[in-house]
Structure 1
Amino acid sequence: MVFSETRYFNKHRVMTFNSSWNKFVGHTDYGKAWAQQLNSDSHFMVWARLQVDIFCKFYASHYFSFVNKTVQPRVHLMLIKPASSSHPATLMCSAYDFYPKPIKLSWLSNGKDITSHVTSTEELSNDNWYYQAHSHLEYTPSSGERISCVVEHASFSQSMVYDWDSCIPDPEMKNKMVTGVAGLLLGTITAITGLVYYRKKSTGHILVPTQPIPRVIDVAFDGNGSCPSGLMPGDADS
């Protein structure tokens, strides 16, 4: 590791210090005189020679600790367009949040390389030192065929193979299922809320009769079994 410093004046090189030389070298008359003065200063020369340890090795340790860092990608394999009578199916293999930048995405069919109908993007920056990449495969599904995405990256000790599971619902069907379940759940909650509200309103309700209540009159009969004067038997019901 070498520390080198060059001084310029009006875009002209005047003097250079190189730790492998252990001295300053002048390139102009003024630079030569200046270099001779600095080379004769023992204290300044000690400081200049220490720049390899103070400056170079210190920042290099931080730089290489980051450069040598690797982060494994998160890999997702999904069906973005199902097959139909007129169009083949389209699979997408995506790698997210990986470092360093170089990565390779490829496809296998029953363990054999697929080279046609494959479209891949370049590594895209996430603006946070991490990257993402995507690869698309158009294919016509056949019975018993195994489709796989192969990811090669510095964070892996070997190539990683991800098999496509056709039992996983495609995103459109998955969205429909989620929407249906959400609608059913919302309807159930609404029905339960209405029932609870109705029961609370019905509790403690007093029924008011719509027909007039008969007036009951106590009648005392005399010894002959006749009604008192002025009161007829039919008057008790009026």
Structure 2
Amino acid sequence: MGSGRVLVAGAVLVALVALGARLAAGTRPSAFFQWSATIECHFLNGTERVRFLVRHVYNRQQYVHFDSDVGLFVADTVLGEPSANLFNSQPDVLEKNRAAVEMLCNYNYEIVAPLTLQRREPKVRISALQSGSLPQTDRLACYVTGFYPPEIEVKWFQNGQEETERVVSTDVIQNGDWTYQVLVVLETSPRHGDSYVCQVEHTSLQQPITQRWEPPGDVSRSKLLMGVGGFVLGLVYLALGIFFFLCSKKGVCWGSGAVVGEGEPALSLSQ
């Protein structure tokens, strides 16, 4: 183990590759030899149970390893027995590897966990796209951004039916801040009366997000009808308000068969 502190995110990989001495110009190597060591931190339920491993590999075969659950180096092959005996005979080497559970794994878990384990809810937006100079929409794009972890499912629905054949998706892309984004496009030519839904399912959500889109003409027509209806209803209430105001102001109203004036006896119209 080196004396420097190594930052890990659940698992740390340190590879040291030895390819032999530098070759003289014009010569070809007869063989390549590779040695590597990997350092790993395994977490179960956060830091409830932590296991620290160091694996020594020669030519892709692990020959000796340290396991914090055992507390010693263990030989995996005959080649690893001398190394295991050597490491286990050095108290300072054993002490450093045993302390790595706390000093290396748990320490870095507190640093990295808020960035890697905290979930982020996706944001969803739909845009209509046109090909070239064509005025009509021929694609609908569902932009899903800002989510973590990267596993996500995005579906398109047209008039309540899921679309699968005309759907094209990009790969999930990193944003550089531990969040991700994806673009899912539906190839379609919207018509009057059509309705579209982009549905997003993610582990950060208690229920899927459903973003609805309708052709602009339908939306404008609906808003126009709502506006006209509101205007007419307002006129009705205004007329009723003026009538009752004048009635109470003059003290003259009509009822069933009688006219009543302020300060005068009622005069029956039925006589």
Coarse TM-score class (shorter-chain normalised): 0.5 to 0.7
CA distance in 1, matches of 2:84, 2:211: 66
- Asked if structure 2 preserves the Cα contact closer than 8 Å seen for 1:95 and 1:134, the reply is yes
Q: 1:150 aligns with which of 184, 199, 202?
A: 199
Higher helix share: 1
Match of 1:21 in 2: 70
8 Å CA contact retained: 2:115, 2:178: no
2:64/2:81 contact within 8 Å kept: no
- Structure 2 residue 183 is the aligned partner of structure 1 residue 131: no
Q: Is contact 2:67-2:73 (8 Å) kept?
A: yes
Which residue of structure 1 aligns with residue 86 of structure 2? Answer: 34
How far residue 32 of structure 1 moved from its aligned partner, in angstroms, is 5.4
**Mapped partners of 2:180, 2:207: distance in 1:** 20
Name the larger-Rg structure.
1
Q: What is the one-letter code of the residue matched to 2:66?
A: F
Aligned equivalents of 2:190, 2:63: Cα separation in 1: 72
Offset, 1:10:
11
Offset of 1:6 from its aligned partner?
A: 5.2
1:78 aligns with 2:130: no
Q: Quick one: higher RCO (CA 8 Å, sep 6+), 1 or 2?
A: 1
Instruction: Check 1:146–1:50 CA distance in 2 against 1; reply closer, same or farther (3 A cut).
Output: same
Q: Tell me, yes or no, if structure 1 residue 69 matches structure 2 residue 118.
A: yes
Q: Any unmatched runs of 5+ in structure 1?
A: 170-238
Give secondary structure in 2 for the equivalent of 1:50: helix
Distance 1:60 1:97 in 2: 23
Percent identical across equivalent pairs? 24
How far 1:29 moved relative to its partner? 7.1
Shift of 1:55: 1.6
RMSD of the TM alignment (CA)? 3.9
Q: Which residue of 2 aligns with 1:2?
A: 51
Secondary structure at the counterpart of residue 79 of structure 1: strand
1:161 aligns with 2:210: yes
CA distance in 2, matches of 1:126, 1:87: 32
Deviation at residue 166 of structure 1 after TM alignment: 3.1
Shift of 1:148: 1.0
Using structure 2 for the length normalisation, give the TM-score: 0.48
Secondary structure of the 1:53 match is: helix
What's the TM-score, normalizing by structure 1? 0.54
Aligned equivalents of 1:10, 1:133: Cα separation in 2: 40
Distance 1:162 1:11 in 2: 50
> Does the CA contact (< 8 Å) of 1:25 and 1:32 recur in 2?
yes
How far apart in 2 are the matches of 1:92 and 1:47?
A: 54
Contact 2:192-2:217 at 8 Å conserved across structures = no
The number of residue pairs the alignment matches comes to 165
